[in-house]
Structures are given as C-alpha cells and as structure tokens.
Chains A and B, each alone.
Chain A
Amino acid sequence: MTAPAAVEYGALLDVLRGVTWPARLHALGGTAGTHKSRLRGHTAEFTEYRPYRQGDDPRRIDWKLLARTDRAFLRITSDRATLRTMLLLDATASMAFPDGAGSKWAQACRLAVGLAAVANAAGDPVGLVVAGPGPVRTVAPRTRRGVVAEIARTLEDVQPAGEAPLAPALHALREMPRLAIVSDFLGDEAELLRVARERIAGGTEVYAVYVVAPEELEPGGAFLAADPERPGLRRPFAPEARERYAGAFAAWRRETARAWRGAGAVWVEVSAAEPAARAVRRIARAVAVEAHA
C-alpha cells in the first residue's frame, strides 16, 4: 500500500484553492498572517477605544480624539498572525486497509496534502510527522511554497505496516499551535487522548481526523477476521454476527468522538471513499460546524 504519487494531487490542490482553515482561537502572535491574534497591534483594522491608563504607551493615544474631547483614549486595533500547523499521520498496518487506492492510508495522504496546501496557502508554516514502524519521518513546519510537494514526496515513500504508538510522536510536538491527527485510532487511542489533552490545555488546537473504511463499517461475507496489528486476534465473522459487530463498532466510534470532543479537540470522521476535497473542506470548517452544533 503506497500513497498516491505527488503528481496525482494536482486536481485536489486545484479544487482546494481558496479554501481557508481559520484558527479556532486567536493566535498567539508572531509573524503577520491571516489569523486573528491575541495581541493588539498597530494595524489599520480598528477595534475599539480604551481610556488611557497609567503605564500605557503614550504613542498609542489618539491625539485627534484627545483634541476634540479633552480626554485621552487609546486606539485599539486587531493583529493578524500565522499559525504553525503540524500534521500527524498514523502509518500502522491498520491504515493499509483495504488494499488498493481506496485504502485508509491513501485517504490519509490525500487529507494531509490537502490540509497542508490549505494551511500553506494562508501563509501558515506546515509540517508533517509520520508515526509508523521504524524511525519517525518528519517534515519541519515551513511556509515556503515547496513544502506541500515535500510532504507529498515524503508520504510517497511510506509503507504503512506493523504497530507503532502515536502518543510519543504527539508528545514530542510541543508548542505547536495547531495539530491535525489523521488516524483510525485503533492503536494507543487512550494514551493518545491523554497526550492530546495536555496539548489542548497548553493552547494547541487539536484536530482528530478519524479515517474509516466502508469495508470496516459493513464487512461482507463470512470470514475469519484477523487484526493486522494483533496477530493473535482472530475471530470468525459470520452474517449473524454482523448486527452485534456494527453495534459495537458504532458505540466505540460514538464514545471515542465524545471523548475527543470532550477534551476540546475537533473530531471529524472521514470515510476512505469520501472525496478528499470535500473532506478537507469539512475539516477546515469544522470549527464553525462544531460551534454551531
């Protein structure tokens, strides 16, 4: 199972042109960007007046208003900042399901490239961490235009296999304003959620993008189900067990989503068969949707 070739992302990137991925919270500041900053600056975008208090910078006093009203007010303006974004991809064996272009891994790659392109278009530094067997592959967050292609090439070389925890990789991503975890959450989901809670408490926006295959939702036929990450787990899947399986799986998805949302993360469920562009749009506007919900 391999990621789509870098040249195959052209259509996806074309469709995603103009899509924005706004920050859920005001950015902490830093380089000027498109996201609202928590800091007040000197931009022309007026926000409000505030009475002058001892200690304020006298250069920010609106002198014209002082002349008219004989009272000193400060002119408050909003600041804009960039938002460093890191994409954490799960490259374990369970992501290589099912075989072919419709696998969860292929969809995860498309989502990663699409989100990276959207973030990069807004001037945000975007990077990548791939957690799988072997050493963790990392693309440092950058704003240059070639970073999306670099991410695509990195994913092209990854073969999802084996079993690897995501929590250590997430733990290593400190002081990252925005994190998007693309996974099926069938590994160390409990530990991953615990680390994610720490990051969220530290002010990080966490997006949990759950990728699920249609074949997982409705397996067909009768077979001996074997967990690719747990060789000892083999259970017979019979038609009469379908209802119980679907119920247990749905309950797990529901409970996992509730836990992540309760932790303050954005939970988005994406089918491996869903067009990637639509999924990226859903992720990007998940803030508004969740806020509305």
Chain B
Amino acid sequence: MTWLAPGYLGLAVLAAAAVVALHFFTRRVPKPRLLPTARFVPEAAVSAPSPASRPADLVVLALRALALLCAGAALARPVPAPPRAVLRVVVAHGPDALPGARALLGPGDTLVVSETGTLSAALVRARRAAARVAGRADSIELVLVAPFVRGEWDAATAALRATWPGRAQLVAVAQRPPAAPPRLEFGGGPADDPLAAAARLLGERRGAATRIARGAARAADSAFARGGGALVVWPTGAETAPRGAADTIGAVIAAGTVVVAPFARTVRLDEPPAPAPAGNADRVVARWADGAPAALERSLGSGCVRSVAIPVPTAGDLVLRRSFREVLDALAAPCGGSRDPALLDSVSLETLRGPEALAAAAALGTPAAPRALIAWLLALAALLLFAELGVRAWSAAR
C-alpha cells in the first residue's frame, strides 16, 4: 500500500495521538446526591480535568481514533501495492524489431510497436505506455529493440530520452541491408520535363520504383501507392490551384539540403496535425525557408503519396545543380524516407542507456487512487463518528 498524499495520514495519526492524550485527562462528574443545604456548598466547576493513569471511555476513544485514522487514510489517497516490483516496457522500433521484442516479453510486460518515425517517436510512445501502466509496478524498465542507426536519431532524441528517469536496455536488431536507390518512373508531364533531366543525373537505380506523377495522379498511380510504392505527385504548375496570394520564397530545404532560388509558391500545403492520428504517418519531407511545408508525405495503403509544392523552373540550370538533385533524391526516397544506415556512436548509445537505476513508476505516471476505497474509508469514518455519538448518548443516559 502506498499513499499519494501521506501528509494527511501523518496529520490523522497526530490527531489520534492527541485524542488519546486527552483521554488521559478525565473529566468526571461526581455522582449526584440530594442535599437540601446545597446552597451553602461553595460554588465550583461541576467537573475539572485531571490526569489519570489510564485513559477513560475506552470505547469512545477507540471510535474517535479509528474515525480520525480512516478519514486521514482516505484523504491520503491510498493506492494498493503494485503486484510486481519491475515491469518492462518493450519498444519494438522498426519493421524488423517486432520478433525480437516479442521474444523479450515477460508476463505483464508491455509491448510498444513503433514502426514509423525516429527513436524520438519511439521514446514518446514508450513514455505514454509507461504512464498507463505506472500503477502496476514499483519500477519500470525501458527495453528498446531497434537497429540503432544514425537515421533513427534526431535532434529531439536526447531530450526525450532525458524524460525517462531510469535506465534503458538496448537490444540491437540486425539492420536490414540498405535497399538500392529506387528507380524513378515518370507519368504525365511534358516530354522536355526538366525534372526528368534532373532524374537522369541521379544515375542508374535498381531499387523499387518510385513513381513521379507530373500533374494530376491517376487511378493507376493510386493503385501503385496502395501496393507499397512511393508516389510523388509533383504538379507541373498549370493544373495546380492557386495558393491564394502567391508569393516568392527564397529557399527550400529537404534532407538537410538547401536549394536557394526564387521559388514562386502557388500551392499551399497544410501542416500535418500534431500529434498525428493513429495509423496516419503524415510527415513533412521538405520545408520552405519560412517553415511552411513544401512537400508532404501521406501514407496510403502500404505505400505513400508525397505532394510536392516546389515549382520546377523551366529556365536556368537550377534543376541540374547538385543541391536540387539531392532534394529530388530525398523526395523520391522510399516511403518513410531514407535513413542513414551507419550505427550510432557510443556516446549516443550511452545517452540512450541512461542511468543505472530503474525508473520509479511514480515518476513516470501518477497511479490513480481507487475511488471506491476512498469512499468506503470516508463512509467508515462517518459511521464511526455516528457510533461515537450513540455511545456517548447511551453513556449519558446510564
């Protein structure tokens, strides 16, 4: 049994002790006897407190002390002792981590599947799961089952890891061999599409195809995406709806590459909701210099659809520059984006492991005190006080 507000219990114990102490000071009224000359007896208090060697009115004392303790216990919000000492939250991060994570699961452990996003997303999901199960154990151990590659680490990972106040067990799974860069298929668009020229500069690719739909996407394109492919919808400019008040922006950023050029923004992309709804893995692939989304990836079936709002200049050599090619490479990456396959360095791994001690369950989430128990304790306290009144009335009647 633990107490969420143990101060009230301490106060109740002190009050009960005070009541016991007061019962050692008896206030006895002498037995009445008729005396016609009572008027000549000096006036004095009918009763006066006097210390005694043993407490008076033991039944009343017991009822009062129990009532105080019950009320104090109710206000202290008791929480029954968790059935387990240590509970593990096993996070399977990545498509290949789930079997290994299942193998690590013990009775009562919690499995968190984090198929998309980086380690930051996995840590957030683990934190939420720990808050839900905080009342079932004294301590919670985090088990991260992931390939631990650099591509899974982002700027928020260290800060999010710091919010887990305990150690983490790292279980590395074999990294899936890096897939070959995807082949690019073009649908629609003019024959002299500068984007096709830029794609040819990327070289020969043998990986799974990424389809770039210039203009509006067709039914076959959607079917391609549902089948697991990455469909990039990149308007040519003529068919796109106006962005409202068109403006010009000076740069676009994707995968750490900045393309500096005067882009005319005619298409507006909405920021994906945060947090993303369950089953929706929308993410921003590219951003304008002012932070607005320039390319947005939405999951569709087993694949994804990327909406690109970056106009392709038909004049100049911008599309032939290396920076634009790298942006095109990022936009044409497989669903979920390409990750750096290099393993994390030792410093990052140590950061993930954290301190030696286990995280206290109370630090990860406040276990809810059972309201029924509190209600019963308060009812019992009230019942005891009523009984105390009855006993006193009965004693007075005697």
Contacts and interface: CB of A to CB of B under 8 A. Distances in A.
Interface stretch (A32-40, A71-79, A125-133, A225-233): A225-233
B35 A236 contact: no
B31 to A, nearest CB: 6
Contact of B36 (A229, A237, A244, A248): A229
B316 interface: no
A97 B35 CA distance: 8
Nearest to B34: A228
A236 B30 contact: yes
B312 to A, nearest CB: 108
A257 to B, nearest CB: 15
Given A234-B46, A241-B44, A245-B42, A223 B31 contact: yes
A136 interface: no
Q: Is the interface of B mostly helix, strand, loop or mixed?
A: loop
Contacts of A225: 32-35, 38, 41
A249 B33 contact: no
Contacts of A222: 30
B30 A216 contact: no
Max chain B C-beta neighbours (<10 A), residue from A224, A226, A228, A230: A224
Contacts, number: 84
A222 B32 CA distance: 9
A233 B30 contact: no
Contact of A97 (B36, B43, B46): B36
Contacts of A94: 36
Contact of A224 (B29, B39, B42, B43): B29
Interface in B40-54: 40-47
Interface in A200-214: none
Interface size class of chain B, counting residues whose CB lies under 8 Å from the partner chain: 10 to 19
Max chain A C-beta neighbours (<10 A), residue from B31, B36, B43, B47: B36
B46 A219 contact: no
Given A224-B46, A241-B44, A233 B33 contact: no
A237 B37 contact: no
Contacts of A236: 30, 41, 44-47
Contacts of A244: 42
A31 to B, nearest CB: 40
A237 B29 CA distance: 11
Interface in A233-253: 233-238, 241, 244-245, 248-249, 252
B60 to A, nearest CB: 21
B31 A186 contact: no
Given A186-B36, A186-B37, A216-B35, A223 B42 contact: no
A184 B29 CA distance: 28
Contacts of A235: 38, 41-44, 46
B42 A234 contact: no
A55 to B, nearest CB: 59
Given A224-B46, A225-B41, A234 B36 contact: no
A222 B44 CA distance: 13
Max chain A C-beta neighbours (<10 A), residue from B31, B33, B43, B46: B33
Contacts of B32: 223-226, 234
Nearest to A98: B34
A145 to B, nearest CB: 36
A151 to B, nearest CB: 24
Contacts of A238: 30, 44
B37 A233 contact: no
B41 A226 contact: no
Interface residues of A, number: 29
A138 to B, nearest CB: 25
Nearest to B29: A224
B46 A227 contact: no
B35 A237 contact: yes
A27 B381 CA distance: 83
Interface in B14-34: 29-34
Interface string A184-199: 1010000000000000
Interface string A153-191: 000000000000000000000000000000010100000
Contacts of B40: 245, 248-249, 252
Contacts of B43: 235
Nearest to A252: B40
Nearest to B33: A223
Interface string A276-287: 000000000000
B36 A245 contact: no
A168 B165 CA distance: 96
Nearest to B47: A236
Nearest to A216: B37
A226 B38 CA distance: 6
Contact of B30 (A93, A184, A223, A248): A223
A93 B46 CA distance: 23
A223 to B, nearest CB: 4
A241 B42 contact: yes
Max chain A C-beta neighbours (<10 A), residue from B33, B35, B39, B44: B35
A214 B38 CA distance: 14
Nearest to B31: A223
Given A223-B30, A226-B34, A228-B34, A233 B39 contact: yes
Max chain A C-beta neighbours (<10 A), residue from B32, B37, B47: B37
A245 B36 CA distance: 13
Contacts of B31: 223-224
Interface in A51-72: none
A224 B31 CA distance: 6
Contacts of B46: 224, 234-236
B39 A227 contact: yes
Contacts of A184: 36
**Top 6 A-B residue pairs of the complex, sorted by shortest distance between their CB atoms:** A94-B36, A225-B38, A225-B35, A223-B33, A235-B41, A248-B40
9 contacts: A186-B39, A216-B37, A224-B30, A224-B33, A225-B32, A226-B35, A241-B42, A245-B42, A248-B40
Given A233-B38, A237-B38, 6 more contacts: A186-B36, A224-B32, A225-B33, A237-B41, A245-B41, A249-B37
Interface of A: 93-94, 97, 184, 186, 215-216, 219, 222-230, 233-238, 241, 244-245, 248-249, 252
